């Protein structure tokens, strides 16, 4: 086994704290398997010492990378994760025995997934902006979110038992999204997003993206395999999640179907490079007659706060100086862009801890499920159609 001390500020305790925080704050309530596994790792001093001594501090020590690498390599409990101490022992033994391979996957891969189901939460906003659109995704990964017009969608009003389905004819994938509305002085209810925003696809004239490590699951089966390994194992039938209707695919099959949906389409241009450094030149290529939409989903959390603030300043500048119309759609956890806050009247619920804030030009318009399965519209901030 190759173990190199790569960062003197690394420590087993730092790694343990990171896994404990991940288990409690991120995985709990979303994935029982990930919550249990990372909690057990946080109490395993010897294994945390292996991680701190083998991996550079920073993004390469993200728990999601380790868990995905083991799943990618067909490690034990690849789908469900350990369920008791004995099962954890088997997972640990396999991972340590195959550590060179696991570490190699971690070092060459990143954990930006570009979950295509996020299109279900982005679509109502995209459909209400002035058309046509020029989409520029920051942190595009495989570029699947640049193809919202290639999928079908079913929007189900929360608690109402009704739904609207539309989208690309014959698409092999349908994204199911539960909708509700929260406005001043009242709790979330079953009222859906405006019907016109749920029945039309956006007119996209141009699309491009930036990613430090772009993927091509259409041409490279190994890239698809990695994207599938990154999917968190969840109980898809759990009512509290409201994740998918019985007629929808499971997560791995849904991802493969999304890839098939975009296969006939021209590939969007994905530029490899730094998210900030490449943005100005790529934005300049967008046609001036189209509405430029710079957007990102669950991406900026990998950057330090100062870099996020620099990104925000850059986007504001690019849109202000643009000859044609332009907007910024951010779709991040509320801790990532802390100056974008939900309205003061909004009363958080326990399940809100994992929600993403969907914002247009730094104004929050909705709270969304991290897997694209729910959209709670903040009615007073919704843009006019």
Q: Say which residue the tokens 């530029």 belong to.
A: 271
| SS3 category, 11 | coil
pLDDT of residue 318: 98
pLDDT of residue 203: 97
pLDDT of residue 231: 87
pTM for this prediction = 0.85
Pairing state of beta strands 326-333 and 174-182? unpaired
Beta carbons of 373 and 244 less than 8 angstroms apart: yes
**E strand map for 212-368:** 269-272, 291-297, 326-333, 356-360, 363-368
Token pair for 21: 């925080």
- From residue 173, alpha-carbon distances to 57, 256, 264 in Å are 38, 9, 14
Phi-psi region of 4 (alpha: psi -120 to 50; beta: other; left: phi over 0): beta
Q: How many CB atoms lie within 10 A of CB 221?
A: 10
pLDDT of residue 225: 93
CA atoms within 13 A on the CB side of 217: 25
Classify residue 15 by burial, with Cβ atoms within 10 Å: 0-12, 13-18, 19+.
buried
pLDDT of residue 244: 35
Classify residue 145 by burial, with Cβ atoms within 10 Å: 0-12, 13-18, 19+.
buried
Q: How many CB atoms lie within 10 A of CB 325?
A: 16
pLDDT of residue 26: 86
Token pair for 89: 């022992």
Mean pLDDT per segment of 10 residues, for the chain of length 385 residues?
42 94 88 92 96 92 94 84 86 97 96 87 93 97 96 83 85 92 49 58 96 93 92 57 42 90 95 96 97 96 93 98 96 92 57 84 92 82 47
Token pair for 153: 């969608």
pLDDT of residue 248: 43
Beta carbons of 135 and 147 less than 8 angstroms apart: no
pLDDT of residue 25: 87
pLDDT of residue 195: 53
In three-state form (DSSP H/G/I as H, E/B as E, the rest C), the secondary structure along 191-242 is CCCCHHHHCCCCCEEEEEEEECCCCCCCCCHHHHHHHHHHCCCCCCCCCCCC
| SS3 category, 357 | strand
Q: Say which residue the tokens 């620099």 belong to.
A: 310
């Amino acid at each position: 086994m190759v173990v190199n001390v790569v960062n003197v500020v690394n420590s087993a305790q730092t790694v343990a704290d990171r896994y404990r925080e991940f288990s409690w704050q991120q995985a709990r309530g979303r994935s029982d398997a990930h919550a249990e596994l990372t909690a057990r790792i946080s109490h395993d001093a010897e294994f945390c010492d292996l991680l701190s001594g083998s991996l550079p501090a920073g993004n390469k020590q993200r728990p999601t990378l380790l868990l995905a690498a083991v799943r990618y390599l067909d490690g034990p409990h690849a789908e469900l994760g350990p369920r008791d101490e004995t099962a954890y022992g088997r997972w640990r033994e396999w991972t340590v025995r195959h550590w060179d391979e696991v570490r190699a996957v971690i070092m060459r891969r990143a954990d930006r997934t570009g979950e295509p189901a996020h299109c279900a939460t982005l679509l109502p906003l995209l459909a209400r902006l002035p058309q046509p659109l020029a989409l520029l995704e920051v942190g595009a990964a495989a570029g699947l979110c640049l193809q919202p017009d290639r999928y079908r969608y079913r929007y189900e009003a929360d608690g109402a038992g009704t739904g609207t389905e539309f989208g690309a004819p014959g698409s092999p994938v349908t994204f199911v999204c539960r909708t509700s509305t929260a406005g001043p002085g009242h709790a979330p209810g079953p009222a859906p997003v405006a019907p016109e925003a749920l029945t039309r696809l956006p007119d996209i004239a141009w699309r491009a993206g930036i990613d430090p490590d772009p993927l091509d699951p259409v041409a490279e089966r190994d890239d698809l395999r990695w994207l599938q390994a990154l999917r968190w194992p969840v109980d898809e039938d759990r009512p509290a999640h409201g994740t998918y209707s019985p007629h929808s695919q499971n997560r791995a099959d849904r991802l493969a179907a999304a890839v098939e949906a975009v296969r006939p389409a021209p590939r969007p241009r994905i530029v490899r490079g730094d998210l900030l450094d490449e943005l100005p030149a790529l934005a300049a290529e967008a046609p001036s007659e189209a509405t430029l939409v710079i957007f990102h989903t669950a991406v900026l959390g990998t950057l330090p706060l100062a870099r996020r603030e620099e990104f925000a300043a850059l986007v504001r500048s690019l849109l202000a100086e643009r000859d044609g119309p332009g907007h910024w759609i951010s779709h991040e956890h509320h801790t990532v862009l802390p100056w974008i806050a939900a309205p003061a009247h909004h009363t958080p619920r326990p399940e809100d801890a994992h929600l993403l804030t969907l914002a247009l030009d730094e104004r929050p318009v909705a709270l969304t499920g991290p897997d694209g399965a729910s959209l709670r519209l903040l009615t007073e901030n919704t843009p006019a159609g």
